[in-house]
Structure 1
Amino acid sequence: MLDIVLYEPEIPQNTGNIIRLCANTGFRLHLIEPLGFTWDDKKLRRSGLDYHEFADIKSTKPSRHFCKANNRSAYLP
């Protein structure tokens, strides 16, 4: 399974569209907090939150927790 990771996403419309993409393809979405919006954001709902129940979404605090939990190394340019 392919994982998509969004690091501190700020634009709810983009995140909503990626949620819809993950719901339709079966990819897992990881959101690294803090998010630049709330889950009840009107723009997020309009662009993809109706697919939220069909997507596998994980939310993680800092990126180092994501790397540890998923046995991955961090690449920071």
Structure 2
Amino acid sequence: MRIALFEPEIAGNVGAVLRLGACLGAAVDLIEPMGFAWDDRRVRRTAMDYIDHVRVARHASFAAFQQTVGQARLVLFTTKVSRSAYDFVFTPDDILLFGKESAGVPAAVAEACDARVRIPIRPEVRSMNLATAAALGLGEALRQTGSLPIG
């Protein structure tokens, strides 16, 4: 299973997702442009030494990323649909896509996805932190597929 971040803007969120990927065994795809310099120390500070335990791939664009998807399903987590991630059936080779913090993904990217799901939240709030959403989404997908690490 992979986590893909579309044009992430906050280095700390990327670092937290890299640490998540390292801990739960998910590769992380970063779709550029990013809103910070990759050598930003905040990424390494948040990911700490865990960054050495996760496979990270950077892609110059969404089109370049799409070339790496193969037969895997691209599952977009978005606030713009009603289907709950908890009612969706994940498969072990799914790629979980999360949009940029300020705007999600453009319509063309959403339409290129095989499925769109949301993490249910209270109606009076807008959205969840990117790294928190990735943790909930990946945790549910790994739970469903029996792929949670043992230890």
Q: If the length of structure 2 is used for normalisation, what is the TM-score?
A: 0.45
Which runs of at least 4 in structure 1 moved beyond 3 Å after TM superposition?
72-75
> Which structure 2 residue ranges, 5 or more long, are not aligned?
75-107, 112-151
Match of 1:76 in 2: 110
Match of 1:15 in 2: 14
Change (3 A) 1:33 1:75: closer
Instruction: Tell me which protein shows more helix as a share of its residues.
Output: 1
8 Å contact from structure 1 (residues 33, 59) kept in 2:
yes
Aligned pairs, number: 76
Change (3 A) 1:63 1:41: same
For the pair shown, the structure with the greater C-alpha radius of gyration is 2
| % identical equivalent positions | 36
Per-residue CA deviations over 1:37-77 (Å, capped at 9, x if unaligned) read: 12321221211142111101111111011112222677425
Q: CA RMSD in A?
A: 1.9
**Given the alignment of the two structures, is residue 25 of structure 1 paired with residue 59 of structure 2, yes or no?**
no
Partners of 2:40 and 2:48 in 1: CA distance: 9
> Which structure 1 residue ranges, 5 or more long, are not aligned?
none
Larger relative contact order (CA 8 Å, sep ≥ 6): 1
Q: If the length of structure 1 is used for normalisation, what is the TM-score?
A: 0.83
Counterpart of 1:38 in 2: which secondary structure?
Answer: coil
